[in-house]
Amino acid sequence: MLRFFLIINIILCLWLPLTGELAPSAFVDIGYGARASGMSNAFTGVADDASAIVWNPAGLVQIKKREIFGMHANQKNLISYDFAAAAIPFKGGAVLGAGIIHSGDLALTEITGMVSFAQTLTEIPKIGNLPKGINIGVTYKIRSADFGNNTDGGPDRVTGDANGYGFDFGLLYGFSEKSALGISIRDFYSSLYWDTSTSGRYEESVPMQYVMGISYRNPDSGLIVSFDFDSYGKVRTGFEDVIGKIIALRAGIKLDTKESFEQKNEYSVGVGIYHFNLGLLDFSFDASYSIEKIADTIKFSSSIRF
pLDDT digit string (tens) for 214-235? 999 998 888 999 999 999 889 9
C-alpha angle 223-224-226 in degrees, rounded to nearest 5 = 155
pLDDT digit string (tens) for 156-211? 778 889 999 999 999 999 988 899 999 999 999 999 999 988 888 989 888 999 99
- List CB contacts of 8: < 8 A, sequence separation 6 or more: 181, 214
In this structure, are strands 200-204 and 223-230 parallel, antiparallel, or unpaired? Answer: unpaired
Contact 129, 70 (CB under 8 A): no
Q: Does the pLDDT value for residue 29 go beyond 90?
A: no
Task: Give the pLDDT mean for 132-144.
Answer: 95
Which among 110, 109, 113 has a CA at the least distance from the CA of 100?
113
CA dihedral 144, 96, 127, 168 (to 10 degrees): 20
Question: pLDDT at position 1, please?
Answer: 46
Q: Does the pLDDT value for residue 240 go beyond 50?
A: yes
> What CATH number does the domain located at 2-305 have?
2.40.160.60
Task: Give the pLDDT mean for 19-48.
Answer: 80
C-alpha angle 190-194-200 in degrees, rounded to nearest 5 = 145
CA 238, CA 242: separation in Å to the nearest integer?
14
Task: Give the pLDDT mean for 43-65.
Answer: 97
- Output 192 or 1, whichever has higher pLDDT: 192
Which among 194, 195, 196 has a CA at the least distance from the CA of 204?
194
Question: pLDDT at position 215, please?
Answer: 97
B/e letters for 26-61, b = 16+ CB within 10 Å, e = fewer, are ebebbbbbbbbbbbbbbbbbbbbbbbbbbbbbbbbb
Give me the percent of the chain exceeding a pLDDT of 90: 60
pLDDT interval class at 275 (50, 70, 90): confident
Contact 67, 33 (CB under 8 A): no
pLDDT interval class at 31 (50, 70, 90): confident
Domain boundaries, the chain: 2-305
Lowest mean pLDDT among 89-103, 248-262, 290-304: 248-262
CA 174, CA 204: separation in Å to the nearest integer?
36
- List CB contacts of 104: < 8 A, sequence separation 6 or more: 79, 80, 110
- Output 280 or 299, whichever has higher pLDDT: 299
Task: Give the pLDDT mean for 75-95.
Answer: 92
Question: pLDDT at position 118, please?
Answer: 98
